[in-house]
Structure formats: C-alpha cells, structure tokens
Amino acid sequence: MTSAPFGTVLTAMVTPFNEDGTVDLDGVQRVAKHLVDHGNDGIVVSGTTGESPTTTGAEDGETLAAVRDAVGTRAKIVAGVGTNDTRHSVELARQAEKVGADGLLLVTPYYNKPSQAGVLQHFRQVVEATAVPVMLYDVPSRTGTKIALDTYRQARQWESVVAVKEASGDLSRTAQLVDLGYTVYSGDDANTLGYLAYGATGLVSVVGHVAGTQLRAMIEAFLAGDHAEALRIHTSLIPAFESIMGVANYGATTAKAALELTGVLSNRTVRSPLLALDDDEVAELRAGLTSAGLL
C-alpha cells in the first residue's frame, strides 16, 4: 500500500435526489466529475453525508456504479458500508467489491453502543467478507462509542485494515495510530491542520464539495513544509468551515445547498428526517462561501 492508499483529498459525497426524492443518477455523476475536476483524488460514496441511513442497499450499489463509471480511474472510490447491523454491512461490503470499490469505509456501529469486543467482532466479520482495503471510521459524537486504542491495535493485525478516518476530536491520538501502522485521514475539515501536525496524511471532507482545490493546496503546502502558506489557506476557508459545518443541520443539507449555489445541482432535496436549508439559511451559507472566495 502507498502512504495514501485512498488518495489525499477525499470528499464524503452527497447523494443527489430528484425533487420526488428518488436518486438522481445523472446528478451523482455530475457531482463526482465536479469533485475530481476540483482537487479530489478520492470520493467516499454512501457515507453519512451521502444520507446512507435513508438509502437502500440497492440505491447504494447503483450510486457506487454511477460514480465508478463517471470518474473511472481518476480517483479512488471508497464505499461506505458501516451500519448498526453486521449482516447488512457484510452485504454492502460484498456488493461494493463486486461493483469495483477501491476501499470500504467502516464506521463504528451506532445506537447499539456495543462493547469494544462487539466493535471488534463487527469489524472482523465485515473485513473478512471481502479482500477490499478498509478505512475504519471513529466518530463517537454520532455513534455513541469511541474506538479504543487496543481495538485499533487488534484490528491492525488484519492485512486489509490500513487507514482511519479520525473524527473523535482526539487529535493527538493520530500519532499513536500512525505508530500502529495506520494511514490517518482527518475527518473534520476545520481541524485538518492539527491532524496533519500529528502525522495524518489527508482529509475526508464535506467542505471539499466546493473547496477541493483549496484544501488540496493547503495539505500540499503543509506536507511540503510551508506551514505559513497552509495556515493562510486554512484561515481563508474559515468562513466556509463555519457556514457548512458550524450549524446543527450540517452535512448533506449544507453541501447540497452549496452545490446548488455553485450550479452543480439544480435542487437541494434531502430525505426526512433531514430538512433542506430554508432561504434564510441559504443566504447565510452564501455569505460564508462568498467571504471564503468560493462564490
């Protein structure tokens, strides 16, 4: 494996919907091409930002195939297969392998709040179901369970488990994960520089929907030792971080609205229980993106 097995700048891609709520596969391909044309060398499909809790397995497979067809080998494609049902995750992993995913994103089971032994068992069953490289995903603010360092240590014994999307907020743990042999990706746009300082390789972004080129430049500057330039770019993007990630109803809702503002999507439809941004919220988003030089 390379030091960046899934690329350096990945965006957790939205799943575009038609106004009636069905998956817009043309929109899927349009967004995927937009991302690769603007700094992304990896795409995560059917993650949380892709509204995976409300898409079916069949829709996930169709979306993954559409992204693969749209970008070919121009970017690594990572399929989100994490659920709180191990059997379902195994099914999604096998489907992703058949479609041609380059990697699997495997989040800690949510809501169930399993023990660390249960987390490890879940990971093991999904990992052993395919030969596809795996990125574990730790986001306890959503799942209710934080992956213990010993669980990481045991999971690293499996050859295909190679990376971590770190979104626990414990930036300093990155150094320990790197020491265990993981490639670490920041899972928090606004903290990416901090993660890089502790040894991370790249980013799985939401803001990358509209700032992929800038985020790539920031990461490349930091890794090249030009920390002042990296900080300058980070500072310029703070209004975008705040307007996209700094509200309660963030993620798919704000990313889709941002793509609508930039003309990539024609609507900002999301599935319940999410609510599309209202006009006042869109105005605030527009102000933030304009201030960051993205509109």
Q: Measuring CA to CA, which residue among 10, 8, 7 is closest to residue 204?
A: 10
CB burial class (10 A; 0-12, 13-18, 19+) of residue 269? buried
What is the β-pairing status of strands 161-166 and 9-12?
unpaired
As annotated, the active-site residues are: 137, 165
Structure tokens at 230: 């990296």
Of the chain, the end-to-end C-alpha distance in Å amounts to: 37
Q: Which helix (H) or strand (E) segment is 137 a member of?
A: strand 134-138
Residue 244 DSSP SS3: helix
Q: Could you tell me the CA-to-CA distances from 210 to 36, 113, 130, 192, 285 in Å, in that order?
A: 11, 34, 33, 16, 12
Locus of tokens 């096998």: 94
What string of DSSP letters covers 70-130? Answer: HHTTSSEEEEE---S-HHHHHHHHHHHHHHT-SEEEEEPP-SS---HHHHHHHHHHHHTT-
What is the β-pairing status of strands 183-186 and 76-80?
unpaired
CB 89 within 8 A of CB 83: yes
Q: Measuring CA to CA, which residue among 40, 51, 47 is closest to residue 6?
A: 40
